[in-house]
């Protein structure tokens, strides 16, 4: 096997749930040696599920398994003095610390960045928090829901007048983890030149906030529109750009180019209404009377299945595809032809399907090598073999709540 791109890079992950673990997972997939430092009560994602047969089991939570593959794991409570001492010893040989503990908490433990920098000048500290380590909200509490709210992404998601929605499946936290991984690798590149580590301060809300910068920011600044929800359609732009029901599910259509729209109308048999001037202004159809405009084409979609619609639209080069369910994605022929999904065994959870790589490198492989660690799986290996504790010390550390 060829060398992996981040081989030899040692990462300590002191985080839980989604964003920090996904950051470390992204680095692990490219070869970094990630050691997950987990509170003895276990990462909260172990209680999140999904579980086989819906029976909670700390080693079988799907979210935990997906986020923590390719890592080794120990239990450790850095709130205890001994736990802190062990963490500091682990940091001696680490290149990166990924943590999500919050500024005031790490400050209180004497693990603030200034202290860490003094001891480990080459260490890169990637800090993930909902709002960041500076500013008036630095100590505010937050979760994925809060990052969705502050990041501005929820406001546009949902139906007008009803409550705004989060991006599903904790995707905002995933994106924050990805942004943190990107910034961390930049810091690694910088360290090659400077020899110094640094603090990477990632505000989860701010990462997802980049999504509002393309159109929402100028739409606000130049037109004074602060935001909107538009349900199943894009509020601005050219008709049709929406999600519509069909015979057996939903399809998504988006025809920004006039030729695409004309091919679509031809497929519908150029119906009579296309001659009505009211239905010739595609901008007005989206922005002024979208319900009426969508009503013109829904009957055609309702007569056909997703598969029929997809086949016809591909043939006529119309951008319209099925809204695939998770089941359809897992069995998708295109992804199968690219050997996208991967299988991995786990001692408690068994053999399962995992999502595959987001990118493919020609020289340095991406790899799913290890299942997620069971709680404290590598305690002995790390504490005894690496740090020189003797096996008899472990029960004592466990009893003291350190591991």
Partner 1 sequence: MQPLEGYRVLDFGSAWAGPMAAQLLADMGAEVIKVESRARMDGLRLGRPIVGDDVAGGDRGLWPDLQPAFHGFNRNKLSITVNLKHPEGVALIKRLVPMADVVTNNFAPGVMERLGLGYEELRAIRRDIIVVSMPAAGESGPLKDIIAYATIIHALSGLMSMVGYEGEPLVGQLQAAWSDALAAMHAAVATATALYHRRRTGEGQYIEVSQWEATTSMLGEAIMDYAMNGRVAGPMGNYHPMMAPHNNYPCRGDDRWVSIAVASEEEWQAFCRALGDPEWARDTKFADAFQRQRNRAELDARIAEWTCQHDAHEVTEFLQGAGVAAMTVMNIEDQFLDPHFRERGFHVEVEHPKVGLEWLYGQPWLLSDTPGSVRRHAPLLGEHNEYVFRQLLEIPAEEYERLVKEQALY
* Binders in 378-397 for partner 1, by CB under 8 A: none
The correct pick among 76, 116, 230, 383 for binding partner 1 (CB under 8 A) is 230
Name which of residues 20 to 39 contact partner 1 (CB under 8 A). 22, 26, 30
Establish if 295 lies at the interface with partner 1 (CB under 8 A).
no
How far is 392 from 364, CA to CA, in rounded Å? Answer: 41
The correct pick among 91, 207, 246, 293 for binding partner 1 (CB under 8 A) is 207
Coil, helix or strand for 223?
A: helix
Minimum CB distance to partner 1 smaller for 44 or for 89: 44
Considering the complex, what minimum distance in angstroms separates the CB of residue 362 from partner 1? 4
Establish if 201 lies at the interface with partner 1 (CB under 8 A).
yes
Establish if 129 lies at the interface with partner 1 (CB under 8 A).
no
DSSP code string of 326-359? HHHHHT-HHHHHTT--EEE--TTT-SEEE---S-
Q: How many other C-beta atoms are found inside a 10 Å radius of the C-beta of residue 126?
A: 27
Considering the complex, what minimum distance in angstroms separates the CB of residue 224 from partner 1? 9
The correct pick among 229, 247, 304, 398 for binding partner 1 (CB under 8 A) is 229
Q: How many other C-beta atoms are found inside a 10 Å radius of the C-beta of residue 183?
A: 17
**How many Cα atoms within 13 Å fall on the side-chain side of residue 269?**
5
Considering the complex, what minimum distance in angstroms separates the CB of residue 220 from partner 1? 5
* DSSP for residue 244: E
Considering the complex, what minimum distance in angstroms separates the CB of residue 389 from partner 1? 32
The number of residues that bind partner 1 (CB under 8 A) is 156
Question: Which structure tokens are listed for 92?
Answer: 């001696």
Establish if 363 lies at the interface with partner 1 (CB under 8 A).
yes
Establish if 94 lies at the interface with partner 1 (CB under 8 A).
no
Q: 83 CB contacts (<8 Å, ≥6 apart)?
A: 76, 77, 402, 403
**How many Cα atoms within 13 Å fall on the side-chain side of residue 13?**
35
The correct pick among 10, 39, 41, 48 for binding partner 1 (CB under 8 A) is 48
Establish if 241 lies at the interface with partner 1 (CB under 8 A).
yes
Establish if 267 lies at the interface with partner 1 (CB under 8 A).
no
Q: Buried b / exposed e across 45-70, counting CB within 10 Å, b at 16+?
A: bbebbebeeeeeebbbbbbbbbbbbb
Establish if 314 lies at the interface with partner 1 (CB under 8 A).
yes
Establish if 53 lies at the interface with partner 1 (CB under 8 A).
yes
Name which of residues 168 to 187 contact partner 1 (CB under 8 A). 168-171, 174-175, 178-183, 185-187
How far is 263 from 120, CA to CA, in rounded Å? Answer: 63
Question: Which one of the spans 87-95, 131-139, 286-294, 393-401 is the region binding partner 1 (CB under 8 A)?
Answer: 131-139
Establish if 334 lies at the interface with partner 1 (CB under 8 A).
yes
The correct pick among 221, 276, 390, 391 for binding partner 1 (CB under 8 A) is 221
Establish if 251 lies at the interface with partner 1 (CB under 8 A).
yes
Measured between alpha carbons, how far is residue 270 from residues 118, 259, 275, 384 in Å? 72, 14, 9, 76
Question: Which one of the spans 93-101, 104-112, 158-166, 291-299 is the region binding partner 1 (CB under 8 A)?
Answer: 158-166
Establish if 273 lies at the interface with partner 1 (CB under 8 A).
no
The correct pick among 1, 222, 275, 399 for binding partner 1 (CB under 8 A) is 222
Q: 123 CB contacts (<8 Å, ≥6 apart)?
A: 91, 94, 95, 96, 97, 116, 117, 197
């Amino acid at each position: 096997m060829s060398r992996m791109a981040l081989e030899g890079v040692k990462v300590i992950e002191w985080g839980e749930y989604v964003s920090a673990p996904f950051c470390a997972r992204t680095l692990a997939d490219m070869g970094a040696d990630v050691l997950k430092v987990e509170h003895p009560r276990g990462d909260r994602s172990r209680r999140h599920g999904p579980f086989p047969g819906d029976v909670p089991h700390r080693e079988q939570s799907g979210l935990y398994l997906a986020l923590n593959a390719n890592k080794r794991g120990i239990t450790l409570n850095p709130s205890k003095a001994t736990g802190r001492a062990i963490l500091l010893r682990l940091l001696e040989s680490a290149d990166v610390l990924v943590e999500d503990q919050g500024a005031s908490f790490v400050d209180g433990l004497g693990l603030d960045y200034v202290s860490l920098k003094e001891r480990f000048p080459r260490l890169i500290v990637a800090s993930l928090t909902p709002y960041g380590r500076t500013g008036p909200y630095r100590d505010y509490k937050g979760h994925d829901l809060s990052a969705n709210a502050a990041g501005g992404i929820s406001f546009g998601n949902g139906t007008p007048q009803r409550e705004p929605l989060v991006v599903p499946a904790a995707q905002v936290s995933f994106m924050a983890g990805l942004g943190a991984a990107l910034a961390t690798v930049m810091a690694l590149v910088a360290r090659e030149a400077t020899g110094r580590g640094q603090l990477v301060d990632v505000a989860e809300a701010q990462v997802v906030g980049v999504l509002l910068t393309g159109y929402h920011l100028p739409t606000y600044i130049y037109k004074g529109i602060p935001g909107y929800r538009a349900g199943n359609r894009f509020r601005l732009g050219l008709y049709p750009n929406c999600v519509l029901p069909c015979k057996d599910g939903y399809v998504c259509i988006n025809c920004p180019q006039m030729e695409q729209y004309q091919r679509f109308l031809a497929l519908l048999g150029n119906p009579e209404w296309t001659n009505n001037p009211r239905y010739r202004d595609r901008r007005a159809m989206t922005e002024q009377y979208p319900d009426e405009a969508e009503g013109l084409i829904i009957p055609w979609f309702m007569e056909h299945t997703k598969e029929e619609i997809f086949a016809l639209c591909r043939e006529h080069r119309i951008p319209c595809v099925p809204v695939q369910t998770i089941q359809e994605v897992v069995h998708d022929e295109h992804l199968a032809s690219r050997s996208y999904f991967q299988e991995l065994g786990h001692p408690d959870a068994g053999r399962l399907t995992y999502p595959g790589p987001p990118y493919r490198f020609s020289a340095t492989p991406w790899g799913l090598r290890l299942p997620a660690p069971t709680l404290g799986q590598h305690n002995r290996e790390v504490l005894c073999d690496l740090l020189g504790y003797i096996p008899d010390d472990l029960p004592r550390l466990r009893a003291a709540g350190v591991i």
